[in-house]
Amino acid sequence: YDTMKLQSYAFFGQVGWRFAPDWRLTLGGRYTHDRKKYNGDASIPSDTAPLPFLNQTGKDSWGAFTPRVALDYQPTDDITLYASVSK
């Protein structure tokens, strides 16, 4: 391609809540947004007509939210048990 521009942004946050002396619930998430712009002239020199899919211009963008949930149990200062689910 003659030019291609890519941008990616991400935001992340999480919060923990100790709902009992030995238990903590953590909720978090990440949002990612990507953007791509391209302008190309990639024709192949030949005696025939250039292939149309090689000369493309366009743009696209997409985003995704990925959540996370975790549960911690700390029965002693030396032991922590946890379960975590995330996308």
Euclidean distance between CA atoms 44 and 67, whole angstroms: 45
Q: Where does 27-77 have alpha helices with state H?
A: none
In degrees, rounded to 5, the angle at the alpha carbon of residue 10 between the alpha carbons of residues 6 and 14 is 170
pTM for the whole structure? 0.64
Per-residue pLDDT tens for 12-65? 999 999 999 999 999 999 999 999 988 776 555 566 665 555 667 788 899 999
